[in-house]
Structures are given as structure tokens and as C-alpha cells.
Structure 1
Amino acid sequence: MTRRGGVSTGAVAGLQCGFGAGDDEADVAENRRLATEAVLPGAALVTPYQVHSNDAVVVTQPWAWEDRPRADAVVTDRPGLLLGIVTADCAPVLLADREAGVVGAAHAGWRGAHGGVIEATVETMVSLGAERDSILAAIGPCIAQASYEVDDGFRGQFTEDDGRFFGPGRKGHWQFDLEAYVGKRLALAGVEHVDPLGRDTYREEVSFYSFRRATHRSEASYGRQLSLIGIAG
């Protein structure tokens, strides 16, 4: 989903789907309803409490809002459930094994991807009957390399082999390719069929919310877009 449409107003105008954005909760709920009906009408939307972890959980039924698990990936084989991940520069990753009837959604910021959230998602899908070589993955809109400046301390957390994901920047800084790095982690997890969207949340303001853009502008809040995948009932 992009930010286009929706009922939110002000600095987060559009299809703003994050309850942590200081937005009117009724507007957020309506935006989530609109998104759900656009993707899988009548489905129950299920989202985790995202904490930049490497935890993936299986969803068998909708949970109460206050009972959301702290996790950054959700997986299901149950028709009628719609898995959702909110992002605002991090990479949303949607995965599906159509033959096995198993889907997953992961929130992959640099920390989660580096910590193994992609591999955990794939392993959880396999535990429900998915086959690695049958899984299709899409990497949704995220901050692009040209917009993602990081410092030497950040670079130092990655291996020498990961140097290919760091382009030259100003002194003591690098440009990090999050989308390509997530693609690498998918490959390491055995997922061969990957479709990167190639959209930059930072620069495409009309279409996407961006945490980093809002931070650079000293804005009070920032919106979140919602990425969705499910199994029709």
C-alpha cells in the first residue's frame, strides 16, 4: 500500500496505518479497514507489535489488540487471515508458497535483517509445510541506497563480504543498500524467487511515509504504510 487515499489529515495525511503516529485512532482504524477490503475483503487483519527483532510467530486466529505478540514477522496457513506489517523506511517483505498455502510478512529494517528475521520467517513457513524453493518473495517500498547515509560505526557491524552493500559517501560515512541486503538474506534462507520493488520511501513523498525524512525535517510525527498478504477463504 502507498499513502495515497485514506482519511488521515495533517502531517500524516493519507492512508496512514500506524497507531503510533499520533494520528486519530478512528482514522487509523478506518484506513486499516479500507486497506483490508482492497486486498482481501472480509478478512481479519492481524499485525504484531513490531520491535526490530528476529522473531517470527504463527497466526492461527485473530488476536486481541492488547495481546499482540512482540515480533517482526507473522506466518499463517489459515484462509481468511490477512497479515500486515507497518513500515516507514524499513523493508516490508511478503512471502508465499502458493502450493503449500502458506504466507508470511516480515518487517526487515537493518537491525532485524542483520539479526535474522528473514531466515526466521522462512523457517516458520517451512514448519507449516512450505518448501524453500517454492517460496516467492517481494521486497516492498523502503529507503533506497542513495537516501540511506550511515556512519563507520554502522558499517562496522557488518562483515567484509557485506561491503558490496555500502557505497562511498562523505568522509566517515557510507550509503547502505537495504533492499539488496534483504535480498541477500532471502537468498541465504533458500528463497530463489525475489521481486524487489525498487521504490524509495524517502524521496517519493507523495507515495510513501518516511521516518528519516520526517526526522531530517524535525517533524513531530511520521506516518506508516501497511503491507498485506493473506489467503483467500
Structure 2
Amino acid sequence: MTLKPFTSDLLADVSHGFFTRIGGSSTGIYHGLNCGRGSDDRPEAVQSNRTAITDFFRQPADHLQSVHQIHSPQVQILTAPQTDAPKADAMVTATAGIILGVLTADCQPVLFHDAKASVIGAAHAGHKGAKLGVLQNTLAAMEALGAQRQDICAVIGPCISQRAYEVGPEFLEDICQDTPEALRFFAQGKGDRYQFDLPSYSLNQLRAARIKEAVWTGHCTYSAPEQFYSYRRSLHENQPDYGRLISCICL
């Protein structure tokens, strides 16, 4: 199968990819490269798709590492492949051959690299995790492995864009409760609705952390159904479930 991940020049010194749904063994509403074991897709199709990822990186199947994502600020430091999937939303490692993989379907996949220290990270950052500090915690965990903030590059992959992310007033209040300046990431929508700019919100956090550089690839998961799975789009289309994209990085 032919996989077509997006890559970033900021991560050119390390193997990585923000994988689309193109390629893969899944069918029906999951058509393509669904890598989400938590979906109702056929387990054998999901496993075949995940094997395609490890083949892409030329690593053994058990080297693809993921966590049980719970929209938290928790980060796992990996020194060797593990068989369980602890509850967390980010991983970091300095061990070559470990593939860090996060699953998304509108939330942000964020890949990190310190080329000087040879430390990588991957985070799943929806609005909840971003507000709770998952990105800052990922940076701190990388530092624990020898990385330096001024040497870390971070790339936000395909996620829901502001024009597709309509929220209510209670959402705005939650985000701005402790950080009133976050109001600038909301645009007025119809009635009492707002449009939230999730990638700009997170880019602001990353740049405030004084890392070397941070960018968003600019791809909206909601707006490109042929390329991306989208949780919100599945709701609007009354689909019973949705596929999960995978984004990976490996030393």
C-alpha cells in the first residue's frame, strides 16, 4: 500500500510523518489508513494499517508505541518498547528505533525534535490537553532526557481549523477562565457561537515556551474528507464512528 504522509522541513533531520487516510486496508466509513484500535473497525484491518506504519519506518511491529489517550497533560518517557498503553497523551524518547505515534481526528498531533540532543516527542493535544499543559509537559520531559528548549522544533500537524471549529459560550469561558488573553483565539460566530483557533492557541503556548521554532502544517481535518478523518464531521454526517489518523516520529 502507498502511504502519503505530510512532512515538515523543521523535522528534516529525523524520520517522521503526519499520515493521511490515503492507503491502508480499512473499508466503509473507515476507508483508508485507520490506525485507531479504539474504533469499531475490523481489528485485522487496523493491525494491517499499523504494520504498514512500522514498515514505512523499517522497524519491527512492536516498536510502534502509543498511549491510551485521555485528553490529559500526562507524558510518558520511553527508554525501550513497551507492551502496554498507559493513560497519557504524549511520549518522549532518546532511544533510536522507537516510533512515537499519536492518534487524532480533529485534535492536534504535535511532533517535537531536538536535533542536537537526539530527543523526540509526540503529543495528542485537543483543547482540553492543551489547556492543561500537555505541550509544556512534553517539553519538560524532553529536557529530562537532555534536550534544550532553544534547540527544540515543534510541528502541529493536520487538525481542525478555526473556520470549522464552532463552540459555545461555555467553551470560551472555560478556555479564558485562567488566561483572559486567550480571548484573541476566538472569532464571533452566529448568535452566541464562536469559532476557536486551536492551532494558533497552541502555537502561542509553544512560542511562549521559547523553543527554537514552532509551526502548523495548515491542513484542516474537517475540510478534506478524502485526506483526513474527522470526529466533528462524522457527527455532522450522522456516522456511527470515525477513523483515526496517526502521526509518528522516530530517531
Output the TM-score relative to the length of structure 1: 0.96
Opposite residue 51 of structure 2, the aligned amino acid is R
> Structure 1: how far apart are the matches of 2:212 and 2:199?
15
The answer to whether the aligner puts 1:3 opposite 2:14 as a matched pair is no
The answer to whether the aligner puts 1:34 opposite 2:52 as a matched pair is yes
- Per the alignment, residue 103 of structure 1 pairs with 120
- Per the alignment, residue 87 of structure 1 pairs with 104
3-state SS in 2 of match to 1:198: coil
* Post-superposition offset of 1:190: 2.3
Opposite residue 54 of structure 1, the aligned amino acid is P
Which ranges in structure 2 are unaligned for 5 or more consecutive residues?
Answer: 1-18
Which ranges in structure 1 are unaligned for 5 or more consecutive residues?
Answer: none
3-state SS in 2 of match to 1:156: helix
- Per the alignment, residue 118 of structure 1 pairs with 135
The answer to whether the aligner puts 1:59 opposite 2:78 as a matched pair is yes
> Structure 2: how far apart are the matches of 1:182 and 1:114?
9
- Per the alignment, residue 233 of structure 2 pairs with 213
3-state SS in 2 of match to 1:130: coil
> Structure 2: how far apart are the matches of 1:19 and 1:57?
19
Structure 1 residue corresponding to 2:93, chosen from 62, 76, 80: 76
The answer to whether the aligner puts 1:229 opposite 2:249 as a matched pair is yes
> Structure 2: how far apart are the matches of 1:75 and 1:168?
37
- Per the alignment, residue 31 of structure 2 pairs with 13
> Structure 2: how far apart are the matches of 1:92 and 1:191?
17
3-state SS in 1 of match to 2:141: helix
Are the aligned partners of 1:104 and 1:229 in contact in 2 as well (CA < 8 Å)? yes
The answer to whether the aligner puts 1:193 opposite 2:213 as a matched pair is yes
Deviations 1:153-192 (Å, cap 9, x if unpaired)?
Answer: 0000113211111011011110000011110111222223
> Structure 1: how far apart are the matches of 2:112 and 2:212?
12
Output the TM-score relative to the length of structure 2: 0.89
